[in-house]
Amino acid sequence: MKKLLSSWESACASSGALRFVDVNLRGIGQVMFQDNPLSGALFLAGIAWGSYAAGVPRIAIAGVVAVVVSTLAARWLRVDRESLRSGLYGFNGVLVGLALATFVAPGPLLWACVVLGAAVSVVAMRATANALAPWGIPALTFPFVLVTWLLLLATYGFAGLAGTALPSAGVVAPFESVAATRLGPGDFVQGVLHSISQVFLKGSTLAALLLLAGLAVNSIAAAAFALGGAILAVATAHLLGAESDLIGGGLLGFSPVLTAIALGAVFHAPGARVVAYAALGTVFTVVAQAAFNVALTPLAIPALTGPFVLVTWLFLLPKQSFDRDE
């Protein structure tokens, strides 16, 4: 694997076109914290398959358009070169493109919004990074969440933009709880895999396997925490009495998966105490996901990765040290 990456990097060094491809693949990989073009390629394969299987190939196309626009916008704004080469200005853009193509009706204005949102995500990334610099915490996917929320809310204010597949609006009645439903073994396994694939807004078993492979080629620890986080998220949601459709669809597990990777394999070196800390954050992200879903019901917009961002910030701000982990 190292020889393959070395050959690729050598080819990129002598070709501007390949360097551009490399940056975009790394941008896709950075959605799950992987600065590796092979990870990005496998993630892209998962996105493509999930979109094709769902009969909406435009979603994958929108993701590619968005990451390319984000990279070009970052170059135009002359951002830090090392961050650009690592794909740190592309991952929010690809998520914006995937989300808009999922929740906005197809048409010329959809593509205009994809380009606009991808470009603005770079500005939002720089603004968020600067604002958070004194606290020493990363922007994560907050730029994606902010830009996408604003664009989705705008669909209710413009006749030319129409939302599709958005949550139903409504008023949350006090003390009205959701009725728990039975979760079979097959639903549990599906929920685990779809929790991973829904990171890229896909409900696909094959896409999940491709994402796990993309994690594993760069970090076995990241793949392990993704899978463990998905299992813990599904078990937690079931024990708390969530609807089986939400669990099986991975809609309560994708943010916890990202939290597990971030706390367990990215911002801390794996260890026994780190595993416990990441598990605590993962469980709380499930709670936060449900809370976001309820809080956003009147606005009829999805939570996206908002719960992951909030909980991960919460768990990084204490600057907890695990240097003496056993």
In tens digits, the chain (326 residues) has pLDDT values of: 777 888 888 888 888 899 999 999 999 999 999 999 999 999 999 999 999 999 999 999 999 999 999 999 999 999 999 999 999 999 999 999 999 999 999 999 999 999 999 999 999 999 999 999 999 999 999 999 999 999 999 999 998 888 887 776 665 555 456 666 677 888 999 999 999 999 999 999 999 999 999 999 999 999 999 999 999 999 999 999 998 889 999 999 999 999 999 999 999 998 999 999 999 999 999 999 999 999 999 999 999 999 999 999 999 999 988 875 44
- Of 179, 301, 309, 162, nearest to 246 by C-alpha is 179
Residue corresponding to tokens 């968020």: 128
Residues 37 and 22: beta-carbon distance below 8 Å: yes
Q: Rounded distance, CA 104 to CA 106, Å?
A: 6
Phi, psi (deg, nearest 5) at residue 104: -115, 135
Give the pLDDT score at 7: 83
Give the pLDDT score at 180: 61
Domains, the chain, ordered by start: 16-166 (1.10.3430.10), 172-326 (1.10.3430.10)
Is the alpha carbon torsion for 134, 261, 256, 237 positive or negative? negative
296 DSSP 8-state letter: T
Give the pLDDT score at 313: 98
Give the pLDDT score at 170: 65
Which CA distances in Å does 176 have to 9, 99, 171, 240, 290? 56, 30, 11, 15, 14
pTM confidence score = 0.94
Q: Rounded distance, CA 165 to CA 173, Å?
A: 23
Number of neighbouring beta carbons within 10 Å of residue 92? 34
Give the pLDDT score at 175: 46
Give the pLDDT score at 324: 59
